[in-house]
Amino acid sequence: LAGTLPKQKLKQDLRIEERSMHCKLSYCALFLRFFLLRLAQLSINNQAGVVNIMRTLMTPIVTVDLDILENNIQEMGQFAAANGVALRPHIKTHKSSKIAKMQLAHGATGITVATVREAEAMAAAGFDDIFIAYTVVGENKLEMLARLSETVRIGVAADSIYGVKMLSAVLGESDAEMDVMIEIDTGQHRCGVTSGADAVVLARLVEELPGLNFRGIMTHEGHSYGAQSPAEVEQIGRQAAATMRTIAAQLTDAGFPPSVVSMGSTPTAHIVGKEAGVTEIRPGNYVFHDRTQLALGSARLEQCALRVIAHVVSNPEPGRVVLDCGSKTLSSDLGKHGPGVKGYGLIIHKGRVLEEAVIERLSEEHGVVTLSPDSNLAIGDVVEVIPNHACVVANLAEMMAGVRKGRLADWIPVES
């Protein structure tokens, strides 16, 4: 079956030569790959408007509906403006300077990032007011922070004496400065101090140490993601805002009035943005929304901008099909499911939500779906999946395909 015909022999010789060159150029190849990919994509891009994305791209592919994205960004900007609260969106959701620039254009006063690498990427893209909502620890990360502080305004979270001291130490003799936000635990029980007294200790230390400015307090009331109803989300938001007001008052009494009181994730931003004392909201996921936001009542289906396009690749028995998107595309993040929500994403086929289809199991490249045996989903069909958690899906992609009305319109690189 695999006999070596003359033509194949020639091919083989060429292949050996090619391979030896490939070995030498392996780093170059890796380096050039991104560039060639980009060129190919630009050439596809030029056909935008006539190319149907379903026939243009290899699945699985992460798509972002640009009309929905723009609406989401605009709406949050308008909400912040109408309520007199600063909007500092969290870009960990998209890691894209392109989308972050759209957010600035619609009223954001600066951006929030989760990591020093994200800060680095955004500073390189021209952003000059970056808050790292993270308690940065580790020599090299701190040194990078100090370098960034020389050219852009950097804020950083802290919740420990160790953390604050390291921030100051790393700035050393330079004239660089960092803003410090004391992280408060308002119920998520992740990071953050829990008492006003602890906050005062840290604020005093920040003001005493060289290079640091005490800017205010921040929290991520992420326990709202575990709520079972919109009413519970609202209650958690209001309670967290009350805690922040209390701690702000204690700091003020101690002589350290916070100029910024920052909170408000996507489920709670519309709630805490109207609460007295809150000066800044930091939602992230709202640009895309996802199935978790649907379950929480924070978004409607027509507000979900990010979708994974996949093919049905197998249908071994009635009631089971396999999609070509697995944990390396959708991630294994189940979110914190609301009542009745199952599986790793919501499947849409020909514009119809397949409520009865459940992505029950993921392998790395397989999504095993159970559905009613009389379903007409067949091998070769293309589906859209609204993932449970959009932020981790974008992070798994190198590029997201920006689409308008189902057609490829732009490419969005994921930059860190």
Shortest Å, Cβ 58 to a copy of itself: 5
Task: Report the helix count and the strand count for the chain, using DSSP H and E.
Answer: 14, 18
Alpha carbons 134 and 331: distance in angstroms, whole number? 23
In the complex, least distance from residue 73 CB atom to a copy of itself, rounded to whole angstroms:
18
Please give the backbone phi and psi of residue 74, each rounded to the nearest 5 degrees, phi first: -65, -45
Pick 49 or 316: Cβ nearer a copy of itself: 316
Buried b (16+ CB within 10 A) or exposed e, 319-328: eebbbbbbbe
Considering the complex, state which of residue 67 and residue 150 has its C-beta at the smaller distance from a copy of itself: 150
Distance of alpha carbon 395 from alpha carbon 415, whole angstroms: 9
Q: What distance in Å separates the CA atoms of residue 335 and residue 331, rounded to the nearest whole number?
A: 10
In the complex with a copy of itself, the residue whose CB is nearer, 96 or 298, is: 96
Tell me the angle at which helices 139-149 and 116-124 cross, rounded to the nearest 10 degrees: 30
Tokens, residue 398: 């190198």
Give the residue with the Cβ less far from a copy of itself, 191 or 205.
Answer: 191
Q: Which long-range contacts (CB under 8 A, 24 or more apart) does 339-342 make?
A: 339/228, 341/291, 341/295
Structure tokens at 234: 């609202």
Phi, psi of 18, deg, nearest 5:
-60, -40
Q: Shortest distance, CB of residue 110 to a copy of itself, whole angstroms?
A: 12
DSSP per-residue codes, 229-251: SHHHHHHHHHHHHHHHHHHHHHH
Complex with a copy of itself: residue 79 or 225, whichever CB lies closer: 225
Q: How far is the CB of 86 from a copy of itself (least distance, A)?
A: 15
The smaller minimum CB distance to a copy of itself, of residues 207 and 302, is found at 207
Q: Does residue 173 sit in helix, strand or coil? A: coil
Q: How far is the CB of 303 from a copy of itself (least distance, A)?
A: 21
Q: How far is the CB of 172 from a copy of itself (least distance, A)?
A: 17
The minimum distance between CB 72 and a copy of itself, in angstroms, equals: 19
Considering beta carbons, is residue 249 or 313 the nearer one to a copy of itself? 313
Sign of CA dihedral 130, 133, 137, 141: negative
